[in-house]
Amino acid sequence: MLELDDIYFTIQKGREDIHLLEQVNLRVPTGHFMAIVGPSGCGKSTLLKLIAGINQESAGSIFWNGRNLSEEGDLEHSEIGYVPQFSIAYDGLTVEENVENAVKLRVKTENRDELYDLTDKVLESAGLEAIRDRPVKVLSGGQKRRLSLALELVTDPVLLLCDEVTSGLDPKSEQEIVELMHELSRNEHRIVVNVTHSLANLDLYDSVLVLDTGRVVYHGPPRAIEHYFSVAKAEDVYPQLAKRKPEEWAGSWDKHRDSYYEGFPAKPSGDPDVSVSAETPGAAVQFFALFFRRWKIFFRDRGQLGLQIAILILFPILVVIFAPDGVEQVKRLSESLPGNLAEYEQERDAVTFNLNLGGIVSGLVMFQVILLTLMGSNNSAREIAGEREIFEKEKLGGVRPSAYLASKVAFLAVLVTIQSVWMAIFVESICDLPSDNQFAHTIFLLLVNGAMTAICLGISALARTADQASLLSIYLVGFQLPLSGAVLALPHLAGWLTRPFISAYWSWAGIMDVMQKDYLRYIKEVTDTWLAPMWLSLIVLLLHILVGLFIAYVGVKKPKWEN
């Protein structure tokens, strides 16, 4: 039995309190199929989210089998299935892969067989067997809704909450989905609630709840609706509602409620504390499921894969072709550094030449660094923001934010390593930069790519949309070069204020510090910017990575529901 007792959901607008839900009282026995209907904006989704535990009620209590959820804790993740208005499946994966992944993330299974058996069972109960191998992107609207339902069935939830799973479907598909939900509710432990605009096809529901501006104005059998609202057919209820104020409708419902509820079976269902739903798997299991799923999606998405490969190959080439003369000079001059130049003329020429060389080496390194920051932002800007809705849904289903973030970090670490090491090897093999310590040089390239990837991951976790995250990340990369001070020195104070935040500067400075000492002299001559010592650059870049990851963690933990 689900009971709502004097529930309010109140938001503040300026100084005013606005009740989105007001004095909601209702009782739903288990084994029951309930519809929530009402005009657009009346609070249907708000009420559903409140029951799901996504929204917290401002006043009142919710009881599940006599247990006060507000005081004794919400239902377990596995006890609730919540099907939101948006699609929660990955387009690039097949129907079966989506269901299998949901099982891996949400149900503790003993072995592979159990995993496959459960997947089969869920596909069968949602009527998806015939299309199990199809990619989600080719499914029809009705098939997608079935899949959304299937994904929630993996834990065998006691409360299945569906938001508009039938909206936008043709009448036949709508009928089929309602029939499916009806079937799923024929289970003595379970309640199925469906929010819908549609006042047709109400016969299959055990009860219909009518909301008007946040108030319950009817909750009873579908066949009594016409009589209660004095209309000829159910479709006329909305125009009829408009004829009186919501509080008047709510007032008269208060008088009638008890007589309607007398007809409801009020049996407490068995032992209230027996949980029939599945157990959530551990963090490590979730991590591996998410990590392998990420790679699968990566390789299926031809566009993303092509872009990554193109960037990987082209960016290092860009570094060397932009400085063909420089490459020649670096090679020629590495033998003829000054030492015993006798003639003044010669000496002056050599100094000019070496200063020039210092500029080239510094510029080539900065170019390497900047392109890696661009790769970093491309790696992670959309990583979380692009799938935020699905992740919120998975979090509600018991996926731990830490496992999710760890899977992202592991995936991105592979990309960052390949990109940075390849950049270092390729450029070094052609330009022969006068680095004293090639290993340290590579590490600084890795760190700057890692720092930018981590910071953009943080942005991605905080952003409202993927586009917003992309834009912010691109700005961040755009500021790296001018604010690094490597091209033009910044005014003294501005330099000290901005430098701590510019990853590119620290990577560049770190690499300069491991250049051969003779070269370093000339590099210092051509750059007016302070050159930080290597150890400091190392610490700052590591801090950037940590800060980025911390922001990402805060971002993924924070609930972000759009609708």
Residues found near Mg ion in the complex (CB under 5 A): 45
Q: Which stretch binds ligand ATP (CB under 6 A): 37-45, 219-227, 229-237, 424-432?
A: 37-45
Nearest alpha carbon to residue 211 among 169, 253, 177: 253
119/213 with CB nearer ligand ATP: 213
* Strand-strand pairing, 191-195 and 159-163: parallel
* Strand-strand pairing, 32-37 and 80-83: unpaired
Minimum distance of Mg ion from residue 294's CB (angstroms): 31
Minimum distance of Mg ion from residue 204's CB (angstroms): 21
88 SS3 class: coil
Residue 167 neighbours by CB distance under 10 Å: 14
- Kindly state whether residue 52 participates in binding ligand ATP, applying the rule CB under 6 A: no
Are the CB atoms for 363 and 371 separated by under 8 Å?
A: no
Residue 75, C-beta contacts closer than 8 angstroms, at least 6 positions apart: 53, 64, 69, 158, 159
- Kindly state whether residue 28 participates in binding ligand ATP, applying the rule CB under 6 A: no
In angstroms, the CA 57 to CA 315 distance is 53
Residue 468 neighbours by CB distance under 10 Å: 15
Chosen residue from 29, 34, 45, 131 binding ligand ATP by CB under 6 A? 45
The interface with ligand ATP within residues 433-452 (CB under 6 A) comprises none
- Kindly state whether residue 464 participates in binding ligand ATP, applying the rule CB under 6 A: no
User: Choosing among ligand ATP, Mg ion, none, which partner's interface includes residue 310 (Cβ < 5 to 8 Å by kind)?
Assistant: none
Q: Give the DSSP letter string of 201-212.
A: S-TT-SEEEEEE
388/408 with CB nearer ligand ATP: 388
Minimum distance of ligand ATP from residue 10's CB (angstroms): 10
Chosen residue from 4, 26, 34, 42 binding ligand ATP by CB under 6 A? 42
In angstroms, the CA 420 to CA 440 distance is 12
45/194 with CB nearer Mg ion: 45
What stretch of H or E contains 35?
strand 32-37
- Kindly state whether residue 168 participates in binding ligand ATP, applying the rule CB under 6 A: no
What stretch of H or E contains 101?
helix 95-106
496 SS3 class: helix
User: Choosing among ligand ATP, Mg ion, none, which partner's interface includes residue 484 (Cβ < 5 to 8 Å by kind)?
Assistant: none
Residue 373, Cβ density class (10 Å: 0-12 exposed, 13-18 middle, ≥19 buried): buried
Chosen residue from 10, 23, 25, 46 binding ligand ATP by CB under 6 A? 46
- Kindly state whether residue 358 participates in binding ligand ATP, applying the rule CB under 6 A: no
Q: How many residues bind ligand ATP (CB under 6 A)?
A: 11
User: Choosing among ligand ATP, Mg ion, none, which partner's interface includes residue 340 (Cβ < 5 to 8 Å by kind)?
Assistant: none
294/560 with CB nearer ligand ATP: 560
Minimum distance of Mg ion from residue 562's CB (angstroms): 12
What is the x/- site pattern for ligand ATP, positions 180-219, by CB under 6 A? -----------------x----------------------
Report which residue type is found at 399.
V
Minimum distance of ligand ATP from residue 362's CB (angstroms): 52
In angstroms, the CA 61 to CA 67 distance is 10
Are the CB atoms for 158 and 190 separated by under 8 Å?
A: yes
Phi, psi of 128 (to 5 degrees): -115, 5
Chosen residue from 1, 4, 7, 20 binding ligand ATP by CB under 6 A? 20
- Kindly state whether residue 523 participates in binding ligand ATP, applying the rule CB under 6 A: no
User: Choosing among Mg ion, ligand ATP, none, which partner's interface includes residue 401 (Cβ < 5 to 8 Å by kind)?
Assistant: none
Chosen residue from 22, 28, 32, 44 binding ligand ATP by CB under 6 A? 44
Are the CB atoms for 420 and 449 separated by under 8 Å?
A: yes
Are the CB atoms for 511 and 435 separated by under 8 Å?
A: yes
Contact positions toward ligand ATP, by CB under 6 A? 11, 20, 38, 40-46, 197
